[in-house]
Amino acid sequence: MLSPVSRQQLEQHLGAPLPQDPQLVLVTDLDGTLLGGSLAWRRRFYAWLAKERQRVLHVFCTGRDLQSVARVLASDASHGLAAPHLVIGDVGCTVACGVSLALVPPAMEPIEALWAGKSELLSQLLVDVPGLSPQPISVDRRLAFSYDPDSFDSALIARIEAHGVDCLISDERYFDVLPSGVNKGSTLLALLDWLQLDRQRVVTAGDTLNDLAMFETGLAGVMVGNAEPALQLRLPDLPHTYLARAQGCEGIVEGLIHFGFGYLLGDMQAEL
């Protein structure tokens, strides 16, 4: 589906260099995951990420758009949250430099191609649908709605998907319409290939159904303890995913130890 892009081509669009030989590629969802858990654990984990920038290549993988990611970085800087190296935003439809938040066009061209014409077509189809209200965010390469399960007719999903798109319901309140086959997992795998990163060094973490595609890649995955029940139900089908007992950042740390990355964690390991 995605055309080959070289690491060099991607790096030309980045405002800061990537670590040359990262020991860990940590791919975190934001809400409920990197932004989840106690404030004490968040501060501890963010300080560790900031200190380990050369050994840990950090990727945000979120449903938020870039403006919303910028707001998180601004508001949580006071807790020590540093910019990641890369951002996968809009549930896999956007790829950007973590530091500058500048788009990485070569990574998005294949996604743009799949989305061409869909927005106009589907915006009309999805006007005034009971249970769906458009979210006030930028909607490049996807459509984003707030979702009410009680008033939405789920038979509509097949009719929408017949137009060559995927519908994704997450956290029982978000409804995304995405280019067919594009999700957090597909964009992550493409990025890992382009950057020639060793899949054995990758750990993903998430908490809602829009993270399922990351867990289905077969990469090591951490489902944090506060994951939504519908996601936890999928655990038996996800042999490389670990369900943490702890929530948010503490759960990520627990998962990193489970997958053998405890040696990178220093003092944090003893705190758990």
Residues at the contact surface with Mg ion, assessed by CB under 5 A: 29, 31-32, 207-208
Nearer to Mg ion, 62 or 186 (CB): 62
Nearer to Mg ion, 63 or 106 (CB): 63
* Nearest by Cα to 28 from 225, 234, 222: 222
8 Å CB contact between 24 and 55: yes
Nearest-approach distance from CB 55 to Mg ion, in angstroms: 25
Nearest-approach distance from CB 121 to Mg ion, in angstroms: 29
Nearer to Mg ion, 177 or 205 (CB): 205
Burial class (CB in 10 A: 0-12, 13-18, 19+), 195: buried
Nearest-approach distance from CB 246 to Mg ion, in angstroms: 15
Nearer to Mg ion, 5 or 205 (CB): 205
Nearest-approach distance from CB 170 to Mg ion, in angstroms: 8
Nearest-approach distance from CB 29 to Mg ion, in angstroms: 4
Nearer to Mg ion, 52 or 207 (CB): 207
User: Could you identify the residue written with the tokens 């409920």?
Assistant: 32
Q: Which residues of 67-94 are buried (b: 16+ CB within 10 A; e: fewer)?
A: ebbeebbeebeeebbbbbbbbbbbbbbb
Q: Which residue is nearest to Mg ion (CB)?
A: 32
The rounded Cα 19 to chain-centroid distance in angstroms is: 20
CA angle 96, 202, 45 (to 5 degrees): 80
Tokens of 154: 């789920």
Nearer to Mg ion, 30 or 202 (CB): 30
How many contiguous H segments (helices) and E segments (strands) does the chain have? 11, 11
Nearest-approach distance from CB 206 to Mg ion, in angstroms: 6
